[in-house]
Structure 1
Amino acid sequence: MGPILVTGLVGGCIGALYMLALRELTDWLGPDAWGGGEHLVVLVLTGAVVSLLIHTLGTPSDVELLVNNIHVHGGTEEVRGLRALIPASLVGVAAGSAIGPEAPLVTTTGTIGSVLAGKRGLSREDTRVVAITGMAAGFTVLFGAPFGSAVFALEILHRRGLEYHEALMPAIVGSLCGYAVAAVAGVVGLEPIWRFPPVVELSGIDLGLGLLAGVIGAIVAAAFTALTVVLRRVVGWIPAGLRPPVGGLVLGLLGIVTPYALTNGEFQMEHLAEADEAAIVLVGFAAIKLFSAAVAMVCGWKGGFIIPLFFAGFTIGLALEGYLPESAHSWSLILALMVACNVGVTKTALGSTLVVSEMAGFATLPTTLIAAIVSLVLTSEIGLIDTQRRRLSVDVDGPDMGGIDHAAVA
């Protein structure tokens, strides 16, 4: 239990400090602090700062490297990459780039979890569990969705569902620890992040719209992936040191066209939900958001694309709202599209579903989850179903969870 609790609490503290610093920097550098032309200059200068940080402090860490290390080594003890990642991502996201803080934050907390496991001399398998716990704590500080964040951290390591299921309970415990720290620090609240109209009852047609959402989400994800690959080839002709400032210039120009080209879109969704925009305009907002996110990524700005993909699904859903039958619930389609667009890229089917559900209003989920975990810990030595046991091929014990069998409660 010790490494899990420590990792969750430390991850929550680091995440809370990161988000508090991001809020302060955003007040200074964000689009709301400057006019269009002035902010273009801010973005170009921010790109120059990002380039300078990378040149001075070295190549930043990233999620892809962390995921690879978790698979191969169980984690990483290489923290030098965080020296550039943390400040570069903070200034970039704060200035209004269309990518969010999720990737840098999770890379940081996952790396810290690996380091803590290494200092305890844990095995590769145990280190992997602790690293995943750190990632879960980072996700929950951003999303305010402890259950979804834990599952998300597990699923993002694979393309076809979570496989390190022995890390699920530790990840949930670490995620709850991170959530508690972030709530105390005022980074997340106990209320939903988004206030969307509730979906009270579904009809048969809503299930069919879920299938439609999956298809549309897959198309959006494929288009975004292809766009990123093409733009990566294009910027390959630009010297590495010039790419961040060039990216800042492009972002600034797009921001003059529409403010929806800037920021990751998390706080723009509620505004759009109350606005009355034409369908073609809403689709355009989705397209320019994803284009801006791709530009930022390929030009060396540090951040993640999860929330921009949520935004794209959201705006496309709003665009389709006026074309739905009267018996259909438009918000079931909108939420489904948010999930589908993200899953198409991240392959996190369960995690994305839970995260969007929690962020959009399952207010009782954290409290029921806490009750479930406490009950499980207190009854870990009591069993009525005698056939519950570890998987037959198990070769992983995982960190001590106070008597919890990660595969089953015996």
Structure 2
Amino acid sequence: MDRIRSFFRNPIFVLSRKNPFMLSRWSILYVLLGLFGGLFAALFWKVLEYLTVFIGKLEGPWIIALMTVSGLGIGLIIYFLGEPGEISLVIDNIRFKGGKLDTKSNPSMAASSLLSISSGGSAGPEAPLIQIIGSIGSWFAELLGLEGEELRSMTIAGMASGFTSLFGSPLGGALFALEILQHRHVVEYYEALLPAFLSSCSAYFVFLWMTDMGIGPTWQFPQYVPGGIEDFENAIAFGIAGAAVGWIFYGVFRATKFSFAKVPGPIFVKTTLGGLLLGCIAFYQPLTRYFGHDQLNQIVTTQGNWIFFGSLVLLKILAINTTISSGWRGGIIIPLFFVGATTGRFLMDFFPTENESFLLICLMASVNASVTKTPVSTTILLADLTGVSSFTPVLFASLSGYFLSPKAPFIRSQADSN
């Protein structure tokens, strides 16, 4: 450890403190952390893609058996490797334990989340990446002998790099890593803002270089054509609709959480039962399977009436909450975007509009803000993910969804700041 610390006292880092520019040795460290975060995220994504293609070959009734067995495998991984934790624990550690995240749970989190996501669970890779790379940032800070806000900033920078790698939005990813840590304040740990931006940018560069994903929008929505004041009025109305979906989501979450808490036995009993239920839902409605990254484009073009899309919204909400409540691992951001877009398709039968993409994006923003309590970063993320250039009306929808959402948050650690 002394050798490592002495390495960062070499002439390069010493000169960085004496140069006439704003560049400092801390800037270099945050960039290095981001480079590593982008490398890990790219490898995680490639393994995930391979496993998804390999496992996804099974169709029809075999999906039920596959997801049941996968649930058993997820439970056994957690049973033998240890409890990997969840985003609430990460938030608690950031806020109340000086930002220190333990790397011991990383093997369990990586293995269980890879199997959860690739076999079709309704949760995405953002939560595992945030936790794993954030803990590596914490380890890196301890290695350098950092304490207090410096350690916390390094951890948050790691979280931001993991989030940005997946979503391709350095600004939105950095803000999300800060905004999700509290319920009331957009950025409480403002000291970590610039470190998060630096780490996010370098992680994004490495992730793009290794995956060749490009810098265009992730989802191909028709371009939104800005109108007048009516766009803001519509955005608020869409935000109210998104908040209503958020209330439904929270109610289903309470029911599934209570139900699975009553299941006796070790963790693999719950995960197996969860896999069985997820398999049945996916067999009945295949679009509920997976976390929605690829399926979201299909929502734009899929033909169906309000009954089809309304039932898809409810089944996807049930699938997301079954995934989380039964002990499967993953994040809910992209699944919530899927729910929002599907809700938009449902409303089109009742409120026809020429700006269909505007309706979908507003619902995506308001539903996600309602559940995750992140209205600002959600808006910026969607601007990059969908290519919308005039995103101010979307912010109105996002804020409406947030302020009309349940006071009791989905992520329980956020309630402490309320």
Fold agreement, TM-score > 0.5: yes
1:261-410 equivalences in 2 (<5 Å):
261-324=288-351, 329-361=355-387
- Does the CA contact (< 8 Å) of 1:141 and 1:188 recur in 2? no
1:103 to 100, 124, 127: 127
**How many angstroms apart in 1 are the aligned matches of 2:119 and 2:352?**
41
- Does the CA contact (< 8 Å) of 1:141 and 1:187 recur in 2? no
In the alignment, structure 1 residue 229 sits paired with structure 2 residue 250: no
2:236 to 198, 211, 220: 211
- Give the drift of 1:325: 5.9
- Counterpart residue identity of residue 92, structure 1: S
- Does the CA contact (< 8 Å) of 2:70 and 2:115 recur in 1? yes
- Give the drift of 1:322: 3.9
- Counterpart residue identity of residue 195, structure 1: Q
Tell me the equivalent position of 1:117. 141
Structure 1 stretch displaced more, 244-253 or 60-69:
60-69
Q: Report the RMSD for the aligned CA atoms in angstroms.
A: 1.8
- Counterpart residue identity of residue 234, structure 2: L
1:209-244, Cα deviation, whole Å (9 max, x unpaired): 111122122221222122112211111221233011
- Give the drift of 1:188: 3.3
In the alignment, structure 1 residue 138 sits paired with structure 2 residue 162: yes
- Does the CA contact (< 8 Å) of 2:305 and 2:349 recur in 1? no
- Give the drift of 1:126: 0.9
- Does the CA contact (< 8 Å) of 1:13 and 1:181 recur in 2? yes
1:307-339, Cα deviation, whole Å (9 max, x unpaired): 11111110111222243365x623222101101
- Give the drift of 1:58: 0.8
- Does the CA contact (< 8 Å) of 1:43 and 1:249 recur in 2? yes
Identity of aligned residues (%): 32
- Does the CA contact (< 8 Å) of 2:135 and 2:155 recur in 1? yes
- Counterpart residue identity of residue 279, structure 1: W
Ranges in structure 2 where 5+ consecutive residues have no aligned partner: 1-26, 392-418
- Does the CA contact (< 8 Å) of 2:160 and 2:174 recur in 1? yes
**How many angstroms apart in 2 are the aligned matches of 1:278 and 1:86?**
39
**How many angstroms apart in 2 are the aligned matches of 1:40 and 1:3?**
47
1:240-264, Cα deviation, whole Å (9 max, x unpaired): 3301111111011111111022111
**How many angstroms apart in 1 are the aligned matches of 2:352 and 2:283?**
37
- Counterpart residue identity of residue 377, structure 2: G
In the alignment, structure 1 residue 128 sits paired with structure 2 residue 152: yes
- Does the CA contact (< 8 Å) of 2:75 and 2:272 recur in 1? yes
Ranges in structure 1 where 5+ consecutive residues have no aligned partner: 366-410
1:359–1:314 Cα change, 3 Å: same
SS at match of 2:135: helix
Tell me the equivalent position of 2:411. none
**How many angstroms apart in 1 are the aligned matches of 2:94 and 2:299?**
39
- Does the CA contact (< 8 Å) of 1:36 and 1:255 recur in 2? no
TM-score (norm 1): 0.85
- Does the CA contact (< 8 Å) of 1:74 and 1:126 recur in 2? no
**How many angstroms apart in 2 are the aligned matches of 1:349 and 1:152?**
9
1:202–1:129 Cα change, 3 Å: farther
Tell me the equivalent position of 2:31. 5
- Does the CA contact (< 8 Å) of 2:101 and 2:155 recur in 1? no
1:276–1:4 Cα change, 3 Å: same
TM-score (norm 2): 0.83
SS at match of 2:365: helix
Tell me the equivalent position of 2:111. 87
- Does the CA contact (< 8 Å) of 2:101 and 2:134 recur in 1? no
**How many angstroms apart in 2 are the aligned matches of 1:139 and 1:170?**
14
**How many angstroms apart in 1 are the aligned matches of 2:128 and 2:97?**
20
- Structure 1 runs of 4+ with >6 Å offset: none
- Give the drift of 1:3: 2.3
- Does the CA contact (< 8 Å) of 1:96 and 1:262 recur in 2? yes
In the alignment, structure 1 residue 20 sits paired with structure 2 residue 46: yes
Structure 1 stretch displaced more, 203-212 or 288-297:
203-212
Count, aligned residues: 362
1:24-54, Cα deviation, whole Å (9 max, x unpaired): 1101113xx1112112111111111111111
- Give the drift of 1:283: 1.8
Tell me the equivalent position of 1:57. 81
SS at match of 1:323: coil
Tell me the equivalent position of 2:415. none
